[in-house]
Amino acid sequence: MASCAKTITAGGTAFHNEAGESDPEADLKRAFAMSCNTAFIHAGYQMHPGDLADEARNVFGIGTNWSIGGGV
Protein backbone atom coordinates (compact mmCIF):
# COMPACT_ATOMS: atom_id res chain seq x y z
CA MET A 1 0.00 0.00 0.00
CA ALA A 2 1.38 3.40 -0.96
CA SER A 3 -1.21 5.61 0.77
CA CYS A 4 -1.38 8.56 -1.59
CA ALA A 5 -2.12 11.38 0.85
CA LYS A 6 -3.05 14.85 -0.43
CA THR A 7 -0.09 16.41 1.43
CA ILE A 8 2.90 15.25 3.47
CA THR A 9 5.52 17.06 5.52
CA ALA A 10 9.04 15.67 5.25
CA GLY A 11 12.22 17.25 6.52
CA GLY A 12 10.25 20.30 7.62
CA THR A 13 8.89 20.94 4.11
CA ALA A 14 5.28 20.43 3.02
CA PHE A 15 4.77 18.55 -0.26
CA HIS A 16 1.58 18.02 -2.24
CA ASN A 17 0.40 16.21 -5.33
CA GLU A 18 0.22 18.38 -8.45
CA ALA A 19 -3.51 17.88 -9.03
CA GLY A 20 -4.33 17.79 -5.31
CA GLU A 21 -5.43 14.18 -5.65
CA SER A 22 -5.38 11.57 -2.93
CA ASP A 23 -6.11 7.85 -2.74
CA PRO A 24 -5.52 6.23 0.67
CA GLU A 25 -5.97 2.75 -0.88
CA ALA A 26 -3.41 3.21 -3.69
CA ASP A 27 -0.70 0.64 -4.29
CA LEU A 28 2.64 1.68 -5.81
CA LYS A 29 1.42 0.99 -9.36
CA ARG A 30 -1.61 3.24 -8.88
CA ALA A 31 0.46 5.90 -7.07
CA PHE A 32 2.88 5.96 -10.01
CA ALA A 33 0.02 6.26 -12.52
CA MET A 34 -1.45 9.15 -10.49
CA SER A 35 1.96 10.82 -10.20
CA CYS A 36 1.44 10.74 -6.45
CA ASN A 37 4.43 12.61 -5.04
CA THR A 38 3.42 12.06 -1.42
CA ALA A 39 3.41 8.25 -1.70
CA PHE A 40 6.98 8.17 -2.97
CA ILE A 41 8.20 10.76 -0.47
CA HIS A 42 6.68 8.65 2.30
CA ALA A 43 8.28 5.48 0.88
CA GLY A 44 11.65 7.22 0.71
CA TYR A 45 11.49 8.10 4.39
CA GLN A 46 10.78 4.44 5.25
CA MET A 47 14.03 3.31 3.61
CA HIS A 48 17.43 3.03 5.25
CA PRO A 49 19.74 5.71 3.80
CA GLY A 50 21.89 3.16 1.96
CA ASP A 51 19.06 1.05 0.49
CA LEU A 52 18.74 2.90 -2.82
CA ALA A 53 22.50 2.99 -3.40
CA ASP A 54 22.76 -0.72 -2.54
CA GLU A 55 20.00 -1.57 -5.02
CA ALA A 56 21.62 0.50 -7.78
CA ARG A 57 24.99 -1.17 -7.19
CA ASN A 58 23.84 -4.76 -6.62
CA VAL A 59 21.11 -4.95 -9.26
CA PHE A 60 22.25 -2.52 -11.95
CA GLY A 61 26.02 -2.32 -11.38
CA ILE A 62 25.95 1.44 -10.84
CA GLY A 63 29.21 2.62 -9.27
CA THR A 64 31.14 -0.56 -10.05
CA ASN A 65 33.91 -1.24 -12.56
CA TRP A 66 32.49 -2.69 -15.75
CA SER A 67 34.47 -4.85 -18.12
CA ILE A 68 33.07 -5.93 -21.45
CA GLY A 69 36.31 -7.58 -22.50
CA GLY A 70 38.40 -6.81 -25.53
CA GLY A 71 40.87 -4.01 -25.83
CA VAL A 72 40.99 -0.48 -27.05
Residue 15 belongs to a domain: yes
Query: Could you report the per-residue pLDDT of 12-38, keeping only the tens digit for each?
Result: 999 999 888 899 999 989 999 999 999
Residue 21 belongs to a domain: yes
Residue 2 belongs to a domain: no
- The pLDDT assigned to 38 comes to 94
Instruction: Report the pLDDT averaged over residues 1-18.
Output: 90
Residue 36 belongs to a domain: yes
Q: Report in angstroms the alpha-carbon separations of 4 from 1, 12, 15, 36, 67.
A: 9, 19, 12, 6, 42
Domain range holding 52?
Answer: 7-60
For the chain, how many structural domains are there in total?
Answer: 1
Residue 30 belongs to a domain: yes
Residue 53 belongs to a domain: yes
Phi first, then psi, for residue 43 (nearest 5°) are -60, -40
Which residues on neighbouring strands pair with residue 8, listed in sequence order? Answer: 15
- The pLDDT assigned to 66 comes to 82
Residue 72 belongs to a domain: no
- The pLDDT assigned to 60 comes to 92
Residue 24 belongs to a domain: yes
Q: What's the predicted TM-score (pTM) here?
A: 0.68
pLDDT at residue 1 above 70? no
